[in-house]
Structure 1
C-alpha cells in the first residue's frame, strides 16, 4: 500500500523520541495515509533557557537546530547575526533524507514527501524549503505541516526569509494562547506561500501539537489532498 512519507522535526530542547511521543494522536489520525519518521537535531543547548522556550523535564536529551545566542542557547525573539550550528543541521537533514531509508518504518524508502515540524523545527523547515527553492540544497518534498512556526530573525537568514515558496503546500497550525510564540508571529509565515496552496488552523491551545479533534476533518482533507497529488489514481 502506498503511503506518504513524512519527516518530523522537533522543537528546541526536544528530540526525536520525545516528538514522536507528543505526536501520537496526530499520527493515529493520519496513519491511513502516511508513515512518520523522526530525527534529532545535532546540537546540545548549553543550559535550561528562560520563558522563551517550552520546558519538560522528561523529554530526554535536549537538542536544537541552531543557536541565536553566543552561549549556545536560542530564543525565537532574538534579532541577531548569530545562527550557530545552522549549516551543520542543514547538512545532517539533507544527508539523512538522501539515505532514502525510513528509520522508524523498515520497508519504506524515501525520498520524503513532506515535513511535519514544531516550533524551532518549523522555523527550520521553512528555511530548508527556502534553500530548496533557491536550489542551494538537493532535497525534494511537496508539502509541510507547521505547528507554532515562526520566522527566523537571524540576519544570516534574511534572504531566505524573503523567498517565495510557491510550489510547496503548507498547513499552518498555531494556538491563540501560545505564550512562547505569539500566533500573530506564526501568521507571518503564511505570506511566504501561495494562498491556494496554504491552509491555516487556529486552535484554542498554547505552544504544543494539539489533539486537533475539533479540526479533524480539515487536517484529514489536507493530507488526503497531498496523498492524491503524490499517488494519482491510488486509494489509501
Structure 2
C-alpha cells in the first residue's frame, strides 16, 4: 500500500464490550488519526447473557462483572449496539475455546472483502488480533479458514495487542506455537488486575517480533495525549522508529492496591 494512502486497521473489542463501546472509548484517537487511518470496528459474533458474565467472574452480579471488565456501558436488555459480546467462551477447565471457530470465520469473511494493513485488539480482542495475525502466517493449520485452498488475505503488516494474552486450546496451540512473526506492539498496564503480567507474558513468549510498551494504569487502552500521539505515529509508520510514549523511568504499581482475578475470557 502506498505510503500516502489511507491505512485500514481492523479493530477488535474486549470481552463483554462491543464495537460501539470500543469506538466510543477510542474516540480521541479516532479524531486524532483523521482521514489518514481508517479504524474499522467490528462486533464479535457471540452475544453474552447475564449468566455468561456471572460465570466468567464467579459473580452473581452482572453489573459487578461488567464493571470489572471496564464495560459499564454494556447492557443486556436495551440498545443492541451495547450488547456485551465475546469472541469465545471457555470451559470449566479453561482448555477449550468455545465458539472461537465462528469468530475466525466471521473475520475471514471480512478479510475476503477488503484489505487491511493491520489489526488492533483490546483484552480478549487483543488475543484474537494476535491469533488472526499468526493464522494468516500459516492458514493451513485451520483448513476452514482457506477459501478455494488459499488464505483470504495476506499477512498483516502489524498487530497491536493491548492487554493481550495467549488463549489455551488445541487450535490456539496449533496456530501460535512455536511462535508467530508479525510485528506486534504489546501495550500492558502495570496495575491491570484482569490480564496480569504473568498472563500477558504467555502472549509475549510466542511473539517473535515484538515491542512492549507499559503504561501506569489498569485494564484499558491508554488515551492520554502522549499515548494518542504515539499510537497515531505508530499506525502511520509501524515499521519506523517511533519514540516511546513513556521515556525514562516509569513507576511500579503499589503493592496490595487490588486483588488479582482470573476471569474466564
Contact 1:171 1:222 in 2 (8 A): no
What residue is the counterpart of 1:133 in the other structure? 137
CA distance in 2, matches of 1:20, 1:177: 23
For residues 74-125 of structure 1, the C-alpha deviation after alignment (integer angstroms, 9 at most, x for no partner) is xxxx75332111111100011012122xxxxxxxxxx011101000011111
> What residue number does 1:192 align with?
206
Residue of structure 1 equivalent to 2:85:
63
Please report how far the alpha carbon of residue 38 of structure 1 lies from its aligned counterpart in structure 2 after TM superposition.
Answer: 1.1
1:38 aligned onto 2:41 = yes
Does residue 122 (structure 1) correspond to residue 126 (structure 2)? The answer is: yes
In the TM superposition, residue 46 of structure 1 has moved relative to its aligned partner by 3.1
Unaligned runs of 5+ in 2: 58-64, 75-81, 146-150, 241-265
Larger Rg: 2
Q: Give the C-alpha shift of residue 175 in structure 1.
A: 0.4
Matched residues in 2 for 1:32 and 1:163: separation? 38
How many angstroms apart in 2 are the aligned matches of 1:218 and 1:65? 28
TM-score (norm 1): 0.78
Give the Cα separation in 2 of the matches to 1:181 and 1:23: 20
Unaligned runs of 5+ in 1: 70-77, 101-110, 229-236
For 1:208-219, list aligned pairs within 5 A. Answer: 208-216=220-228, 218-219=230-231
Partner of 1:13: 16
CA distance in 2, matches of 1:79, 1:175: 27
* Native 8 Å contact 1:176 1:204 kept in 2: yes
Q: TM-score, normalised by structure 2?
A: 0.70
User: Offset of 1:44 from its aligned partner?
Assistant: 1.5
- The aligned residue for residue 249 of structure 2 is none
- Kindly report which structure 2 residues correspond to 1:154-165, keeping only aligned pairs within 5 A, or say none: 154-165=169-180
Compared CA separation, residues 214 and 57, structure 1 to 2 (3 A): closer
Q: What are the superposed Cα offsets for residues 167-211 of structure 1, whole Å, 9 maximum, x if unpaired?
A: x1211111000011113422332233334xx22110011101111
> Could you tell me which residue of structure 2 aligns to residue 93 of structure 1?
107
The alpha-carbon deviation at position 143 of structure 1 amounts to: 0.7
1:142 equivalent in structure 2: 157
Conserved? CA contact 1:118–1:209, under 8 Å: yes
SS at 2:69 equivalent: coil
Asked whether the 8 Å contact 1:201–1:215 carries over to 2, the reply is no
Q: Match of 1:6, SS?
A: strand
